[in-house]
Amino acid sequence: MKEKLEALVAEMIERHIYLDEAVSEFEKKFIQTALTKTRGNQTKAAQVLGVHRNTLNRKIGQHKLNGHR
């Protein structure tokens, strides 16, 4: 896992992807995956992610996921 992450980071730096964009995309994908695995159940997804349900709801809105605006 560590080697894959290091390779990905190196590629992103090579492509001039800034830290804020990388963090945002990672967070978005992490949340999307948790929601998919919990079949859209935000309470369960929040537990899987280790965040409060309100935090997850805010981040869903921030990333415009699941039709949330």
pLDDT at res. 3: 95
Handedness of CA 32, 65, 23, 47 (dihedral sign): negative
pLDDT at res. 69: 42
For 17-64, write each residue's pLDDT tens digit: 999 999 999 999 999 999 999 999 999 999 999 999 999 999 999 999
The CATH superfamily assigned to 18-69 is: Homeodomain-like (1.10.10.60)
Residue 67 — pLDDT band, cuts 50, 70, 90?
very low
End-to-end, the C-alpha distance of the chain in Å comes to 34
pLDDT at res. 2: 92
pLDDT at res. 24: 94
pLDDT at res. 48: 96
Give the start-to-end residue ranges of the domains of the chain. 18-69
